[in-house]
Structure 1
Amino acid sequence: MDASIKHRSSSETFTFSTPPADSSIEILNDFYWTTEAEPHVLRRKQILAKYPEVAKLTGYETKTKWYVTAVVLLQFAVAYYLRETPILSWKFIALAYVIGATSNQAIFLAIHELSHNLLFKKPIHNKLFAIFTNIPIGVPYSASFQPYHQLHHKFMGDRYLDTDLPTQYEGIFLSNVLGKVFFAIFQIFFYALRPMFITQIKFTYIHLLNIIFQIGVDYLMVHYWGWHSFIYFIMSSFLAGSLHPCAGHFIAEHYVLNENNKPRGKLVDGANISKEMLPAETYSYYGSLNLLTWNVGYHNEHHDFPYIAWTKLPELRRIAAEFYDPLPQVNSWCGVIWYFCFSDVNTLWNRVKRDGKERHGANVKNLDENQE
């Protein structure tokens, strides 16, 4: 049926085709498909035009490497301390959750900073330091993260190139309460395994170094300290991407968690939602957990200016307050996990997607990885 809808921020009235209740699941359950460009490039241009001094905020942050090194050493210290502690004991699990998961979430996000070359001047130094930072994760990760994350920034919402997006199968099978709880518990595996099923990246010597170095450190740890220390690293990584307060950022950043009852119709000319009703697709969080996660909650700011280091993002928001204050915000990462799992309006379909047909089959191996 057709519905006449007045957009709340406009006097314009337009007609939108809404699907009947007995429509197929392919229509009732679908992503927010749009042909509109992602919003960050335009907002970056507008901010720079009004506040050219923002350009001075770009560049690497020299002190970050010392903080990261401290977190890595902390993880080694706890791993050594637990080397003879039973894995299923309360002490082992509690330390893995409170210290290990919090530290490894900080390490994941330090690798995120490194993927934007925000710790050192030369890209190669960022890549090599990322391999060192990777150690407490337990498995090689840093070398693959950078090119996939660059795709996320350059082609946000692209069904073929943005591997942060859930797939059609995830939407179909995991959009009920049990499925969403399963997804929230095992998020780390979805983010680790999904990319290889969507698009492939070129294997480089940095990947090889990442694998060799990580396996070498893991072997030495097991040989001299035993399996319990290594399992502490693995458990820390799993819990960091599971039901942990800091893990709320995975869902909070790009899932559409408000105004989800906007009608979506059949796919017409690559879109099933009008330009006027297209929801925001990036959300910021300004709470205290940013102190543990390199300000990753400043996510609109980060996508607008990916080469501003974490220490300068609050200043960006202060300068361009009129651009960021009106945008939707997330108040609690813990609340996001709960609301996502147990509110019927929140599902894995709640993401903005673009078809990207013109880029389907693109030669991703030529992606600019900022090689040295």
Structure 2
Amino acid sequence: MTQKRCNVTNGTFPSDRPNEDVVNEDVSKAHDFYWTYTEEPHKSRRAAILKAHPEVASLNGYEPKTKWVVLFVVFLQLTCATLLSKTNPWNWKFLLTGYFIGAFCNQNVFLAIHELSHNLGFKRAVHNRLFSFIANLPVGAPYSASFRPYHMEHHRFQGVDGFDTDLPTSLELVLLDNVLGKAFFCTFQLFFYAFRPMFVRQLPLTSLHFWNVVVQFIFDFLIVKFLGWRSMAYFFLSSFMAGSLHPTAGHFLSEHYNVTRTRLIQEGPGKDTPLETFSYYGPLNILVYNAGYHIEHHDFPYVAWTRIAKVRELAPEFYNNIPDCKSWSGIIYQFITDSNVGMWCRVKRKQAYDASN
């Protein structure tokens, strides 16, 4: 198969080096995923980093502070929902609170659930699973139990078509290959991430799914009963805005969309494959458990948010030459407006190499 890749212009990322080996393709031919036959890059990177810097392994482990941050954010959302219980949802106070407080809070709990899915909140796995139900409460809809198994497959089978449900489908590529389509995707991308897995790869339901639904339903019922439907609407508005045209929602795009002309900087198999994971080191990380350190996270998925930046500090030669996203808001704007950037800017592979081995 002829390998294709996104041949895109520079946007929110720094320019490539002049000597970078880049395939200059006609734009019309570049609007397809880049198909590769190499394994996902993070398993080999992890081995190389540990060989050069074995001290990085000491960073693994959970972070007790996580639960306190989650409880504070949940309490803040409950406070806002209570204060807005008598306010019309179309009122500017309701909408601005949802955008400037609620969306940041719910993006925080989204990524708290991400931390908990890696068992980084508590020592015991079951405590992480149960506490994720609490983090899930302000979202309004149960999803923490479903998120974890799909996210684990994203790590194990990154880029594998039919396994990694973080990847856009071919239908999305065709239907959203224009400015309006991309704007629609960015506005409603939370729904794409929520419903795409059901169509791509259905995983079995467990008792955790049942209890997640039960706990969330009881919470929602109590909110409507004692505070009213407007408070419930506030939670849903917060979730929608957190996954829409919001600064923190840029992490969905910055993590794996290659909007540069950069190839993977490494020796050996896969050296000609475009980069497929990127990091963001900006100030918004403080609100979202350092989720911007995404290359580092895929290299070491069991290092908690308070120590993930240390990975880059201990092994700078593995990270300093990789372009990073400078702005989450900027990458949303670039993704929508740049005709050379789109759903196709993802690396896909056919074979399911298991990165956990």
TM-score by length of 2: 0.89
C-alpha deviations, 1:34-76, integer Å up to 9, x for none?
A: 0011111111001111111111100000111101110001000
1:50 to 49, 52, 60: 52
Counterpart of 1:218 in structure 2 is: 220
The share of aligned pairs that are identical, in percent, is 50
Match of 2:322 among 318, 321, 327: 327
2:287 aligned partner? 292
Partner of 1:183: 185
Residue 29 of structure 1 and its aligned partner are, at CA, apart by 2.8
Taking a change above 3 Å as real, the CA distance of residues 67 and 276 of structure 1, as seen in their structure-2 partners, is closer
2:19 pairs with 1:8: yes
Per the alignment, do residues 157 and 305 of structure 1 end up closer, same or farther by CA in structure 2, a change over 3 Å counting? same
Q: How does 1:125-204 map to 2 (within 5 A)?
A: 125-204=127-206
Mapped to 2, the partners of 1:332 and 1:358 lie a distance apart of 32
Instruction: Please state how far the C-alpha of 1:19 moved relative to its aligned partner.
Output: 7.6
Q: 1:8 deviation in Å?
A: 3.1
Unaligned 5+ segments in structure 1 are 2-6, 263-273, 360-367
Instruction: In structure 2, list runs of 5 or more residues that go unmatched.
Output: 3-17, 264-268
Conserved 8 A contact 1:83-1:229 = yes
Q: 1:280, 1:328 within 8 Å by CA — same for their partners in 2?
A: no
How has the CA–CA distance of structure 1 residues 104 and 19 changed in structure 2, closer, same or farther, with 3 Å as cutoff? closer
Which residue of 1 is the match for residue 113 of structure 2? 111
Which amino acid is 1:319 matched to? L
SS in 2 for 1:33: strand
For 1:271, the equivalent position in structure 2 comes to none
Structure with the greater alpha carbon radius of gyration: 1
Deviation beyond 2 Å, 4+ runs, structure 1? 7-10, 18-21, 274-277, 356-359
CA RMSD, 1 decimal: 2.2
Name the amino acid aligned to 1:335. Answer: G
What letter matches 1:76 in structure 2? L
- Aligned counterpart, 1:311: 306
Letter in 1 for 2:92: W
**Alignment-derived partner of residue 38 in structure 2:** 36
In 2, are the aligned partners of 1:160 and 1:356 still within 8 Å (CA)? no
Match of 1:229 among 227, 231, 236: 231
Bigger RCO (CA 8 Å, 6+ sep): 2
Confirm or deny: 8 A CA contact 1:257 1:346 kept in the other structure.
yes
Amino acid at match of 2:170: Q
> Structure 2: how far apart are the matches of 1:28 and 1:319?
37
CA distance in 1, matches of 2:331, 2:353: 34
Partner residue of 1:345?
340
Whether the 8 Å contact between 1:85 and 1:228 is mirrored in structure 2 is yes
Tell me the CA shift for residue 278 of structure 1. Answer: 1.8
Please list the CA deviations of residues 247-285 of structure 1 after superposition, one character each: whole Å capped at 9, or x if unmatched: 00000000011118x9xxxxxxxxxxx955421000000
Residue 152 of structure 1: CA displacement?
0.2
SS at match of 1:99: helix
TM-score by length of 1: 0.86
Pairs aligned (count) = 334
Residue 174 (structure 1) shift = 0.3
Task: For 1:60-75, list aligned pairs within 5 A.
Answer: 60-75=62-77
Work out which of the residue numbers 98, 101, 106 in structure 2 matches 1:99.
101
Matched to 2:289, the amino acid is W
| 2:61/2:303 contact within 8 Å kept | yes
Closer, same or farther: CA 279–336 of 1 in aligned 2, 3 Å: same
